[in-house]
Structure 1
Amino acid sequence: MTLNPLTRSPLADQAARTLREQVASGHWPVGTRLPGENELARQLGVGRSTVREAIRALAGAGMLQTRQGSGVFVVATRPVEDLRTTLRRASAVHLFEVRALLEVEAAGLAALRRDDEDLAALDRALAARHAAAHGDDEEFVAADVALHTAVVAAAHNPVLTELFSAFEPALRDGLLDLVRLLPLRHDRPDPGADSHTALVDAVRRGDAERASGIMREEVKHNLTLLRGAEN
C-alpha cells in the first residue's frame, strides 16, 4: 500500500496522523517494522526530519518504539492517552476489578524482589498514610494511593509500573468516590490501617503468598462495598 503525499502544513502533524492511521487500521500490526525514513519520506512527500518528528510524536504516545540498530516498530495500536481516557470513563467497579489484576500480582512480586530502598519507601508511605488520617478525604486517599504505588514499584517490573501509572489517576478518583459515598471514614479516620500494616510487613518478610492474599482481600472488600452501594 502506498501512502498519499502530504500537501498542507504543519507537515509533521500530518505525517504523524497518517502513520497513526496506518497503525490503527491494522495495515501495520503490532510487531511490524516500519519502512525506513527514506521510504516514508518519499511516500509522504516530505523530508526525513519531518518523518523523524512524526515518529517521535508516535513514540511519545506509546504507539511506536525505536530500537537501536533495528528500526522503528509498532508496539500499540492506539495512543496511551486513549487508555487514560478509557480509565477516566470506567465505572468504579470495573476500575477495582482491574486493580485486583494489577495489585494482587504486584504485592506478591514486591515480597520477592524488594530491596532496602523499597522497604524504606514503604515505611515512609505507611507512616504518611497513618498521618493523613488526620487530614481531609483527598489527603488520605492521596496517601493511600502513594503506598500502593510504592508496593508496585517494589515489584521491579517496568511494564507493571507503567500500567499502574496510567491507572493511578482513575484509581485515586475511584477511591475518593468510595470514601465519600459510603462514607468509610466516619467511624474510623484510617480505614484499612491494620491490613496495610500487615501488607508492608508481608513484603518485608518476603511472604509473597501473604502479601498477595492481603491485597486480594482488600480489593474484594472494596468491590463488595461498591456493588452494595450500586444496588
Structure 2
Amino acid sequence: MPLGAVRPSPLVEQAAARLREQITGGDWPVGTRLPGETTLAKELGVGRSTVREALRVLAGAGLVRPRQGAGVFVIAAEAVEDWSSRLRRAAVADVYEVRMAVEVHAARLAARRRTPEDVTAIGAALEGRRAAAAADDAAFVDADIAFHAAVVAAAHNPVLADLFTEFTPVLRDGLTELLSLTTLRADDPGTGDAAHEALLRAVRDGDAEGAAEVLRRELEDPFAADPAARAT
C-alpha cells in the first residue's frame, strides 16, 4: 500500500507510525530491507532527518535494526511492549505478586538503612493515612500508598523505588475498586492501622526480619478485616 504524505506535525511520530503500519500490516515482512532514507523521505513528504529519527523510534520498539553498510532491516512484526504498557494491562493479582517481592525486601532494607529523617517521613505518612480514614476510598488508598512509598524510599535503593512508582497506578486502581466492592471501611475506616504502626516500629527499631514479616503478612491479604491480629 502507498505510504502517503504526513501532516506537518508531529512529523517524527507520524512518520514512525506510517512505517510501523507497513511492518505490522505485513507489507514489509521480517527480513525485509527497508527502502533508503531518501526514498522514504520522498514518499512520506518529510526530510531525511525526520526519517532517520522515525527509524530510531522503530529500532527502539524492536521492529528494525540497522546493519552497517547494508541498510535497515525488519527484525520483528510486532513491537516490544514497554514495561509501563505491560503494567497498565496487568491484572491486579499479578501486580500484587510483584509488589510482595519488591516491598518485603524494601522493608527489610529500610530497617537496616533508615535515617532519622526516613523514620520521621514514615511516621508522617502514617498520620496522613490515619487522617485519610475520614475521607473517601480513593483518598484513603492514596494515603496508604504514600505510607508504603515512604518505607520503600527508606531502603535507599533507586531501582526498588522506581519499580514501586511504576506499578503504583495499577495498584491504586485495584485497591480503590476492592474497597468499593466491600464494606471493609464501613466497619473500620482506617483498616490495617495496627499493621502499619507495627511496620513503622520495626523499621524504626532496625528489626529487618520483623519489618519484612509484618509487610509480608499484610500483603498476603490486602485490607483484611483484622490485619492487626496477624501483625502482632
Instruction: Please tell me the TM-score bracket, short chain as reference.
Output: 0.5 to 0.7
RMSD of aligned alpha carbons: 3.6
Seen in structure 2, the aligned counterparts of structure 1 residues 169 and 48 have a Cα distance that, compared at 3 Å, is same
- Give the gaps of 5 or more residues in structure 2: 42-46, 62-78, 226-232
Q: Which moved more, 1:47-56 or 1:127-136?
A: 47-56
* Alignment-derived partner of residue 156 in structure 2: 156
**Post-superposition CA distance 1:177-204 (Å, at most 9, x none):** 2223232112221111111011011111
What count of residue pairs does the alignment treat as equivalent?
189
* Alignment-derived partner of residue 180 in structure 1: 180
Seen in structure 2, the aligned counterparts of structure 1 residues 42 and 165 have a Cα distance that, compared at 3 Å, is farther
Q: 2:87 aligns with which of 84, 89, 92?
A: 84
Residue type of the partner of 1:217?
R
Seen in structure 2, the aligned counterparts of structure 1 residues 52 and 101 have a Cα distance that, compared at 3 Å, is same
Residue type of the partner of 1:170?
V
Task: Give the deviation of 1:222 after TM superposition.
Answer: 2.5
**Superposed counterparts of 1:14-29, under 5 Å:** 16=16
* Alignment-derived partner of residue 215 in structure 2: 215
Alignment partner of 1:146 is 2:155: no
Using the size of structure 2 for normalisation, the TM-score is 0.65
Bigger-Rg structure (1/2): 2
* Maintained 8 Å contact 1:15/1:51: no
Task: Give the deviation of 1:220 after TM superposition.
Answer: 1.3
* Alignment-derived partner of residue 170 in structure 2: 170
Task: Give the deviation of 1:50 after TM superposition.
Answer: 5.7
**Post-superposition CA distance 1:65-119 (Å, at most 9, x none):** xxxxxxxxxxx943244123223xx1x4333222212211111122222223322
Cα separation, 1, equivalents of 2:146 and 2:48: 45
Cα separation, 2, equivalents of 1:57 and 1:199: 45
Seen in structure 2, the aligned counterparts of structure 1 residues 99 and 114 have a Cα distance that, compared at 3 Å, is same
* Alignment-derived partner of residue 122 in structure 1: 122
Runs of 4+ in 1 over 6 A off after TM superposition: 40-44, 56-59
Using the size of structure 1 for normalisation, the TM-score is 0.66
Higher relative contact order (CA 8 A, sep 6+): 1
Residue type of the partner of 2:198?
A
* Alignment-derived partner of residue 107 in structure 2: 107
Percent of pairs with identical residues: 42
Cα separation, 2, equivalents of 1:117 and 1:178: 33
Q: Secondary structure at the match of 2:81?
A: coil
